[in-house]
Structure 1
Amino acid sequence: MSAVDLARLQFAATTGIHWLFVILTMGLVPLVALMHTRAVFTRDPARRAVRERMTRFWGQLYVINYAVGIVTGLVMEFQFGLSWSGLSKFAGNVFGAPLALETLIAFFAESTFLGMWIFGWGRLHRGVHVTLIWLVALTAYASGFWILIANGFMQHPVGYAVRDGAAYLTDFAALLTNSSALVALAHITLAALTTGGVFLLGISAWHFARGTEETELFRGSLRLGTWVSMLASFFVVVIGQMQMPVIERTQPMKYAVLTDSGVAEVQRRLVAQHGPGDYVPPEGWIHLSMNTMSIIGNTVSTLTLVAVVLLWKDRLVRRRPMAYLMTAMIPFTFVASVGGWVVREVGRQPWLVYGRLTVEDALSHVSRSSLVFSCALFIAIFLALAATNWTLITRFAVRGPDATQLGATEPLPDDLPGSPGGGADDKQPVPAF
């Protein structure tokens, strides 16, 4: 493999594995926030206790995924300097700000709010506590927004001027309203909610199929996951089709490959515009990824629609084969989302910044032996982290709510009202929310 191929393999593998964490994080956090909100506003103590246990159970799975996944995110931006210094030199003045904002939001604001939510059980007022998890959800999607703003510039560069071989931002509003970023954000948001919904649906159905005493808890999460995944999977297909006019306008070669029309004509136009070169991206990869994403997306949409109908009188979980089928859908949502990223990124080739900077020109002056070492090391570490993540998630998901540790710590003595440093008027223990 050439140095370019090794650098591309390294970034593709690490980005793809990191994306598996991101899509579940974005899909789960609003659902956990919704569960927490329902628990807070439930007046009946017995039902509130069940909804609290539900929040803590699914919240723990979310925290595991976030904690392990954030490690994979730490090295992503460093690869721009490691392997793609040409990209940093050309476009760093434009997308440096979005990447910096994403880092501040993800690694400071989001992590801070999440830490306060994790350790706030039994210590914070329930209104403050539930606000924290909604702030976590908000910052998670804000982080995704800034990443897509940076990626959108690479897909369709806008709002810039080139001086001395480097791009400089001239129109921040154009950067923020880039259609290549905003339509993709809507598509990814719905894909994440589909992933999170199927995750809830699949694990809940598994517990019903195996027999569970937590029927009310898993019935609630089953219904939430089924409705969310059904609605999100329907609209993710619709929004996906809405991207085609944007692709046709901004990346005609990708559109030609996707529709199998006019590839030779687009190649002639691009040669006339940018000079000699092969501007046809790997057609096999694009078709395979697009077909995989489309087939899985439509299948999930159909099956979740059937699942909504079968919710009536618990018919969904009374039929074990159907319940196990819901569980089997979980990994396919991740495969579909990775397929979508492959279409988006590979379809841009040979450009790194479309029409302005090729992959070849963006590569750092790094020896092939260094790239072999870093590629093997990064992929091995990321695979180990992914295996660790899913081992932990599977273990705690199978054990059920009784093994949940999130929020299980009793309030510290000085946190209790009536104790030194606590409230003097209320002698009752601080509620769990």
Structure 2
Amino acid sequence: MSAADLARLQFAATTGIHWLFVILTMGLVPLVAIMHTRAAYTRDPVKRAVRERMTRFWGQLYVINYAVGIVTGLVMEFQFGLSWSGLSKFAGNVFGAPLALETLIAFFAESTFLGMWIFGWGRMRRGVHVTLIWLVALTAYASGYWIMVANGFMQHPVGYEVRDGAAYLTDFGALLTNSSALVALLHIALAALTTGGVFIAGVSAYHFLRRTTETELFRGSMLLGLWVAMVTSFFVVIVGEMQRPVIERTQPMKDAVLENSGVAEVQAQLVKEHGPGDYVPWQDTLRISMDAMTIIGNTVSTITFIAVILLWRNRLMRWRPALWVLVASVPFPFIASVGGWVVREVGRQPWLVYGELTVEDALSHVGTAALAVSCTVFIAVFLALAVTNWTLITRFALRGPDATQLGSTEPLPDDAPDGPGGDAEEKQPLPAF
């Protein structure tokens, strides 16, 4: 393999693995926030206890995924300097700011709010505690926005001018409102919520198959997960189609390959615009990825729609074949999201910054042997982290709420005196998690 192939393989593998953490994080955190809000403001003490256990159970799975995933995210941006110094030199003045803001939000604001939420059980007024998890959700999506702003510039560069071989930002507003970033962000947000909903529904279905005694907890989880997944999986297909006019306008070769029409004509046009070269990406890879994403998206939408209908009179919880289908559906959104990522990234080849910087020109001057070692080490570490993450998630998900350590403080008595903010909450020892 050439140095360029190794560098591309390393970045593709590490980014793809990291994305599996990100999409579950973005998908779970709003649902955990909804659960916590309902638990905090439920007056019935029995229902409140069930909903709090629900929040802590799913919150612990979210925290595991976030904690391991943040490690993979720490090294992502270092690869710009390790393997793609040409990209940093050309576009660093433009997307350096979005990446810096993403780092501040993800590794400072989001982590701070999450840490306060984790250790705030039994120590904060309920309004403050609920606000923290919503701030975690907000910063998670804000982080995604800044990443898509940087990626959107690479897909469709706007608001810049080239001086002395480097791009300089001239219109920050154009960068922030890049259509290639905004429509894709909405598509990703819906895909993440679909992933979170299917995950919750699948794990809940497994516990019903085991004839769990936590019927109310997992029924409520199943209800929330299926409704969210059904609605978002329907709209994720619609928003996905909304990207086609943007792609047709900004990346005609990607559109031609996906339509399987006019590839030769677009190739000739790009040669006239940018000089000799092969501007056709890997056609089979692109089409297979697109087909996989489309088929899986429609399948998940159909499954969740039928499952919501079966919720009537709790028929779903008693029909074991349907429960097994929900369990088997858990990996589907992850596979579809990776397919979508491949379509977005591979489809713009051979450009790293479309129309301005090719992959070959962006590659660092690093020897093939050094890149081979780097590629092997990076992929091995990321695979180990992914295995660790899913081993922990699977273990705690299958054990159920009894194994939950998040927020494991002694419950407050119903007649406890009001705290500083008027809520019946006293200071408790720090939770074990």
The TM-score by the shorter chain falls in which range? over 0.9
Question: Are 1:85 and 2:89 an aligned pair?
Answer: no
SS in 2 for 1:162: strand
TM-score (norm 1): 0.96
Q: Which position in structure 1 is the counterpart of 2:280? A: 280
Shift of 1:324: 1.0
- The residue number in structure 2 matching 1:400 is 400
Q: Tell me the amino acid that sits aligned with residue 44 of structure 2.
A: D
Report the Cα distance in structure 1 between the residues aligned to 2:151 and 2:173, rounded to whole angstroms. Answer: 16
- Secondary structure in 1 matching 2:157: coil
1:327 correspondence with 2:330 = no
The amino acid that maps onto 2:148 is L
Contact kept in structure 1, 2:126 and 2:423, CA below 8 Å = no
Which residue pairs with 1:27 in the alignment? 27
Instruction: Give yes or no for contact 1:28–1:196 (8 Å, CA) kept in 2.
Output: yes
TM-score for the superposition, normalised by structure 2 = 0.96
Counterpart residue identity of residue 236, structure 2: V
Q: Deviations over 1:387-431 (max 9, x none)?
A: 0000000000000000000000459xxxx989xxx97x9998458
> What's 1:150 paired with?
150
Residue 162 of structure 2 aligns to a residue in which SS? strand
Question: Are 1:29 and 1:62, in contact at CA under 8 Å, matched by a contact in 2?
Answer: yes
Specify the alignment match of 2:163 in structure 1.
Answer: 163
Alignment of 1:241 with 2:209, yes or no, is: no
**In the alignment, what sits opposite 1:210?**
210
Residue 387 (structure 2) aligns with: 387
**Aligned mates of 2:33, 2:389 — CA distance in 1:** 22
Report 1:18-417 matches (<5 A): 18-410=18-410
The whole-number CA distance in structure 1 between the counterparts of 2:303 and 2:325 is 9
Asked if the contact 2:125–2:425 (Cα under 8 Å) also holds between the matched residues in 1, the reply is no
Residue 3 of structure 1, CA deviation: 0.2
Deviation per CA, 1:75-112, whole angstroms, max 9, x where unpaired? 00000000000000000000000000000000000000
Distance 2:320 2:392 in 1: 25
8 Å CA contact 2:22, 2:69 repeated in 1? yes
Whole-Å separation in 2 of the counterparts to 1:313 and 1:3: 60
Counterparts of 1:47 and 1:61 in 2: how far apart (Å)?
22
What do the CA deviations read for 1:363-383 (whole angstroms, capped 9, x no partner)? 000010110000000000000
Counterpart residue type for residue 108 of structure 1: F
Superposition deviation, residue 332 in structure 1: 1.2
- The secondary structure found in structure 1 opposite 2:408 is coil
Aligned-residue identity in percent:
79
3-state SS of 2:331 partner: helix
SS at match of 2:168: strand
State the distance in 1 between where 2:223 and 2:198 align. Answer: 11
2-side partners of 1:430 and 1:275: how far apart? 69
Q: Distance in 1 between matches of 2:423 and 2:171?
A: 56
Amino acid at match of 1:309: I
Change (3 A) 1:114 1:426: closer
Q: How many residues align?
A: 425
Distance 1:397 1:314 in 2: 22
Q: Which runs of 5+ in 1 are unaligned?
A: none
> Over residues 227-275 of structure 1, what are the superposed CA-to-partner deviations in whole Å (9 max), with x where a residue is unaligned?
0000000000000000000000000000000001110000000000000
Please say if residues 417 and 430 of structure 1, whose CA atoms lie closer than 8 Å, have aligned partners that are also in contact.
Answer: no
Tell me how far 1:41 sits from its aligned partner: 1.1
Deviation track 1:269-308 (CA, whole Å, cap 9, x = no partner) reads 0000000000000001101100110010000000000001
| Aligned Cα root-mean-square deviation (Å) | 1.8
Q: How far apart in 2 are the matches of 1:430 and 1:219?
A: 32
Q: Deviations over 1:296-321 (max 9, x none)?
A: 00000000000010000111121111
Show structure 2 runs of 5+ residues with no match: none
Secondary structure at the aligned position of 2:352 is classed as strand
SS in 1 for 2:365: coil
User: Would you identify which runs of 4 or more consecutive aligned residues in structure 1 move more than 2 Å?
Assistant: 425-433
SS at match of 1:330: coil
- Shift in CA distance, 316/431, structure 1 to aligned 2, threshold 3 Å: farther
Contact 1:36 1:52 survives alignment (8 Å): yes
CA distance, structure 2, for counterparts of residue 68 and residue 426 of structure 1 = 34
Distance 2:102 2:50 in 1: 36
- Check the 8 A contact 1:292/1:336 in 2, yes or no: yes
Q: Distance in 2 between matches of 1:427 and 1:214?
A: 26
Residue-by-residue CA offset, 1:151-200 (whole Å, 9 max, x unaligned): 00000000000000000000000000100000000000000000000001
2:171 alignment partner AA: D
SS in 2 for 1:352: strand
Q: Deviations over 1:126-166 (max 9, x none)?
A: 00000000000000000000000000000000000000000
> In the aligned structure 2, how far is the partner of 1:83 from the partner of 1:179?
28
Bigger drift between 90-99 and 204-213 goes to 204-213
Specify the code of the residue in structure 1 equivalent to 2:354.
Y
Residue type matched to 1:190 in 2? L
